[in-house]
Amino acid sequence: MTEVLRRGRASLAFSFFAQGAAFALLVTRIPAVQDRYGVSDALLPAFLAAVPILAGAGSVTTERLVRRIRPSRVLRWSQPVVLLALLGVGAGDRIAALAAALAVFGLAVGALDASMNMLGVSLQRTYGRSIMLSFHAAYSLGGIVGASLAWVGAHWHLALWVSYLPVAAVLLPATLVGSRWYVDGDATAVPGAAEHGHGPVVFRLLLPLCLVMTFAYIGDSTVSNWSAKYLQDTLGSSEQLATVPYNVYMVTTLVGRAIGDLGVRRFGAVAVVRLGALVAALGFAVVAGAPGAWVGMLGFTLLGLGLCVLVPQTFAAAGRHAFENHGPGASDAAIARLNVFNYVGFLVGSPLVGALGDAWSYRGAMLVPMALVLVTLVYARSFAAQPDRYGGGHERPRTADVGRGSNGV
């Protein structure tokens, strides 16, 4: 059993890594995509908004799929589709081809994100201790690798398909091989259980966590979309220095998630979430009041350390509470529904800050995600484990039935 769990954890971590790399390769090459297809500045926001909207639809569809098939199967086949769609974005030459590739990418990403987190939450429950942050650390590492490869492609003026093909050629077979060892855990131990015990009750239970997820992604999208512009236009940095804050943010996100599970085990999820929200709010305050670029960089560093714990812990709390209140199948349904608010935050964050910045000031606009992140403190008790928290001598007993891996292990 222990070997099955170790393989399952390693293969799922690699899946998170691959998804982080693929997503970074897409979003960091948006200017090149725009140039390749001749997408106008007026039309580009519609293309970019379509991806998270379709991802939300993919996540909702996954909620229904996992009532009949295991999340591991959804993940096994959605990840290759994401990688092939990424390659399609780089290989096409007409706007219709770009639209089709992005549509497939969005739908598959929704299924992929939902099923990955379903497996992560069920594995954490089986382990009986916090491991969810480690999976999201692998995602951050993949994002750093993907962004670095995108920089290489841009620096050497490589065609998009030349940048994407080697990545897809390596990651696609590797993820398919790794999928043999996925472990579904106990989340699907009762076939059809997802059809019972959720609906309005679970949504009321999830509402605080949905808000936290939305606010966390508003903060994240603020950094990814506005950090470079803010540093250059508001704080007067050079164009070269303006590219640094997002890289610093990604690295500190990786560091925070790599050590975050230890904090949850020692102090509990509530304390870690509260600390993360306070550090993130402090980061936004430092960014808003920064007299110059280097102080602004300090603010973005704090943002990475603070925001990095919120999303993994929100998934973990949603799955845990749904499982405890409504049984195994409800955990997967809760995660699929919560995952939709990932995309809501992404859609809202960038336009919100941009509109406030144009109408008011970009310094003032940074105070809005700060206030939203602070609202997390109001809902921090929603992250408490019942009856005991993970770690600190209160770990829950390991679940005996770890399910079957995708290869029948």
**Distance (Å, whole) CA 47 – CA 61:** 21
Indicate whether 141 pLDDT > 80.
Answer: yes
Phi, psi for residue 328 in degrees, rounded to 5: -55, -50
Domains and their CATH numbers in the chain: 1-178 (1.20.1250.20), 193-390 (1.20.1250.20)
- For the chain, state the CA radius of gyration: 20
Highest mean pLDDT among 241-245, 274-278, 384-388: 274-278
Q: What letter would DSSP give residue 186?
A: T
| Predicted confidence (pLDDT) per residue in 369-395, tens digit | 999 999 999 999 999 876 444 444 334
DSSP state string for 64-122: HHTTTS-HHHHHHHHHHHHHHHHHHHHH--SHHHHHHHHHHHHHHHHHHHHHHHHHHHH
Residue 404 CA, distance from chain mean position: 26
Ranges assigned E (strand) in 141-220: none
Rounded to a whole number, what is the largest CA-CA distance in the chain? 59
**Distance (Å, whole) CA 198 – CA 339:** 16
Phi, psi for residue 405 in degrees, rounded to 5: -65, 170
**Length of the chain counted residue by residue:** 409
The DSSP H or E segment spanning 322 is helix 310-326
Whole-structure pTM value = 0.89
Indicate whether 338 pLDDT > 90.
Answer: yes
Indicate whether 202 pLDDT > 70.
Answer: no
